[in-house]
Structure 1
């Protein structure tokens, strides 16, 4: 069973998350919070597998501060940030502090549940639209593209296919279905890709694929 904690300062969003997750047989909500400090407290007490954090709650910074506190704890859960399209600079800061995923608040229920499964299995998830905007906020013209392409050129053809699908937001199971590979085989390719390009997680691999121009 995947234990989940989520935090958002809007009751409407929290009730929506509650409803979306209620139908998943392998997910249980163990806590919720309306601001950063409360989220940290709930996470430390309930020890979830996955945390969903709004980037901006009672203050502009408390979602980011909560993320930093959570990932600094012993055996931290994987954390995905809930965002909209108007907070690029906060998304960049969340990546710097170790977020494992970035999801839009209007995500479909089935996609949310699959994202939680991937996060619980040690993966990372990123909405392709969020990735594209993150890159526009981070890169400095075309100077970022060539180093990214050089790193990706070190990959095998199959590894390039895998990293491209990661950048498109596909989970391991979806990548396996697309490439006719087992999920275990896909996990092996993902690990190999991350090691070769020096990425800490799938989010960074996705950004590299965008930066190189492989994914538009």
Structure 2
């Protein structure tokens, strides 16, 4: 880890907190902690998080929860489960989830029974735990999904766009190939085959 990227794990942990289901703990613990951490980050990553936190300050607990559910549970193109963007509900997604679980296990990291390994908040938390090099590599593996989610949130005017803007600030600039992948996924959407996914069926986002 170099001084230039030492802040990235702190950014990913903060983003993970803000993408968790906004229960009472979110309001009274995660949000104040995230605000303090965001203030220590480079402006390109911290400023969007502070703007998001300011937005939440003006909302009731019920409003924030309802918006989260409407955004992430009820909109197909605002899915927090990253392997969906590459594989849809296909058997290949099941294999991708298994590979993620094995990656986590190899690093000595265990999920709870309520967590799926491809939820963006989980991926960010793991990235924070393993450090800038490996964390960034894992996020880049899911770059197309992250970008599609960010674009979908922006198009709906969602305040959670700010959190994805902050995630993007921790990643390398998009290359031509990545632009092509994002454009293709945006145009075609994910595959729709649903065979073979039963053991890995996604839990609601609020299960985190």
| TM more than 0.5 | no
TM-score using structure 2 length = 0.31
Could you state the TM-score of these two structures normalised by the residue count of structure 1?
A: 0.30
Which is richer in strand? 1
RCO comparison, higher one (Cα < 8 Å, 6+): 2
Structure with a larger share of its residues in helix: 2
